[in-house]
Structure 1
């Protein structure tokens, strides 16, 4: 039986099933192991871990701890409550915006590659190019955020560093716009998102792209990237404060366990708090050289779970309402047994998005792609409805095949 316990109750003899820190490079070789010494417990708590999952079949139990099923049921109930707020209003349809969004996504990826190359070579970042990319992303988001956000679901672990920067930029622009910020703040949020990991270009490639867990010494080097990035950006003429703040503090945590300065929540700016949420969401839902990404809806569940200590709960809720409980690009299972890819949020309900239905689990085969609006009635039996999210890998479905124009 898998149970969740507070970190202060860990003791030797317990079997760690999940350290519950998918968003960080923790200093342990394995995710699952038996606790043998008090030193191991101290090492776990020193990383900022506040709650973990144990396997009582393989180690000591804690009788009154909730099971993983009970924890997930409570989290899912919270997600449904959060989903009651209406999503963003779109100006054009997903189909209309998709072609433009795809072109912008490619241009943004190339721009990030150029920025990172220039930093590696000690050359100046071309901020005009950065500003143009952020402007194009903003205009696409304002027309229909789902088109560009959906393309973020197309992951390539070999280009993770570049695609992650584009994703954080896009999600920061979308987030800031949904919070009602003015165009200048949206622009600054986007610039900060695009440049937030600039300091990683000062991390040796053998550490940055290491396929296994980092050693303590490597971990220390990796943790320097926010300050390295801040030092690079502050040398740029007229670089504004918000992108600098996002770059320096996107790894800070509300309980003071983050880095580089271990700031408590009241000392972390709103933009940096937003960037922390966005950065972790994209990281845990992406395939990396040492990590298989989780489905988007599961990623939102983990964000909400972690917001108890590490993130601003109000901002996490706002972010979930921004991108939807079933984000564009995610695969969902319908009551009818069909599988569909979310292509657009409905203005009336985050629980009834528009889908491109592509597969049936009853015969385990692809079907002719059909657009289904879950907010509209379907036949005498009423509308189909979402029963849960699905992992595309389980069904060997290539999401990109159905998202690209």
Structure 2
């Protein structure tokens, strides 16, 4: 049962269901959690919120006048599986195998696509967008990336032309979290970066559909129209609820370039925030690796190599961290080995970016498929000698080799 109570009645052991006030006015990432720590209770009482909603089926009720408030130990025992709210928690280390995490990643891809589609629909109807409603999804995406950075980031790259607009936002969300983690940002900042990634293209909801969905390259005039989407997205977010300064900044500036030639304001590098610089890299990578109405997506390894040659486009230090977060040969890359075999990358080796784990499946010597073999190149005498273009080889089931059934579960 839900109850609304004033802040002075909140105590350790209660389960907060909702906070009566905007997200930016309170110090917690999650708005639903069990209060275990007196320090969290103190932060809540200092927040200035009007009150909170509690769920007495998951935690303590309002204490009778003679009741003694529970200690943190007894509160923890009352609901041991509830997450503790932390204002700036560090992300946990990756702890899930790719194949295990892909199952959850597929679910999140579906949920994310539905959430973004709904959000774009609300914006097209002129209704206010509530960024705060996306927090549970972003939190789940961040948790997945923290467990295994390669799973959701790689699976979200696999889009159809029809779902590109919505899945692009999900992919950039995951990429932003992974990049933030590589840059050493605290967990709360990584999640805020993820929310910014999810909302960064909201302005496309205000673009003419015939331009947005054009099955060919845009004309100069049409591109001028599309270049307005950062400004329109910023307007929509300002008129809505729950968008922080980081979210607004990334929406407005993710197309600015490090050399000052971007849009909409041609900002010099010293006026582009770190989060916007992160957004620029993540947005471009997902765009060039995705199938679009007018072109097929590039191979992930080839995309990294090409982006590295675009002088002036990205902040060099941010791009370097981005490469480390994905790997020189990202998951799903087709590579040729010194042994004369072809393989697809399945896991990264953070200690050696040129020696990932791969699945070997084809022999160039016999020009025939071979029994699939998992090979950790960090523990093998074999090595990668080149990246290969999957389209040139025409392997129809390359994605299934590294992602398995998750390829079909994601949509």
Larger relative contact order (CA 8 Å, sep ≥ 6):
1
- What RMSD in Å do the two structures reach over aligned CA positions? 1.7
Distance, in Å, in 2 between the alignment partners of 1:109 and 1:360 is: 38
Aligned to 1:73: none
- Give the 3-state SS of the residue equivalent to 1:172 in structure 2: helix
CA shift, 1:89, in A, is 6.0
Aligned to 2:228: 224
Aligned to 1:106: 110
1:128 to 1:396, Cα distance in 2 relative to 1, 3 A? same
1:116 aligned to which of 120, 139, 142: 120
Distance, in Å, in 1 between the alignment partners of 2:244 and 2:153 is: 26
TM-score by length of structure 1 reads 0.74
Moved more, 355-364 or 98-107: 355-364
- Give the 3-state SS of the residue equivalent to 1:180 in structure 2: coil
Aligned to 2:377: 374
Aligned to 1:282: 286
CA displacement 1:323-382 (0-9 Å, x = unmatched): 1000112111112222222111113311110112222333333333221111113xxxxx
Distance, in Å, in 2 between the alignment partners of 1:200 and 1:162 is: 10
- Give the 3-state SS of the residue equivalent to 2:163 in structure 1: helix
TM-score by length of structure 2 reads 0.72
CA shift, 1:258, in A, is 0.7
- Give the 3-state SS of the residue equivalent to 2:373 in structure 1: strand
CA displacement 1:194-238 (0-9 Å, x = unmatched): 111111111111111212222222111110000000000111233
Aligned to 1:5: none
| Structure of higher CA gyration radius | 2
Distance, in Å, in 2 between the alignment partners of 1:392 and 1:146 is: 19
CA displacement 1:49-85 (0-9 Å, x = unmatched): xxxxxxxxxxxxxxxxxxxxxxxxxxxxxxxxxxxxx
Aligned to 1:404: 404
Aligned to 2:316: 313
Aligned to 2:208: 204
- Give the 3-state SS of the residue equivalent to 1:166 in structure 2: helix
The answer as to whether partners of 1:338 and 1:360 remain within 8 angstroms in 2 is yes
The answer as to whether partners of 1:340 and 1:358 remain within 8 angstroms in 2 is yes
Gaps of 5+ in 2: 1-91, 406-411
- Give the 3-state SS of the residue equivalent to 2:239 in structure 1: coil
Distance, in Å, in 2 between the alignment partners of 1:242 and 1:331 is: 36
CA shift, 1:128, in A, is 4.4
2:355 aligned to which of 352, 357, 361: 352
1:340 aligned to which of 332, 340, 343: 343
The answer as to whether partners of 2:328 and 2:353 remain within 8 angstroms in 1 is yes
The answer as to whether partners of 1:120 and 1:201 remain within 8 angstroms in 2 is yes
Gaps of 5+ in 1: 1-87, 378-382
Distance, in Å, in 1 between the alignment partners of 2:370 and 2:114 is: 35
- Give the 3-state SS of the residue equivalent to 1:276 in structure 2: helix
1:198 to 1:355, Cα distance in 2 relative to 1, 3 A? same
- Give the 3-state SS of the residue equivalent to 2:372 in structure 1: strand
| Count of residue pairs the alignment pairs up | 312
- Give the 3-state SS of the residue equivalent to 2:257 in structure 1: coil
Alignment of 1:169-318 (within 5 A): 169-306=173-310, 308-318=311-321
The answer as to whether partners of 2:93 and 2:146 remain within 8 angstroms in 1 is no
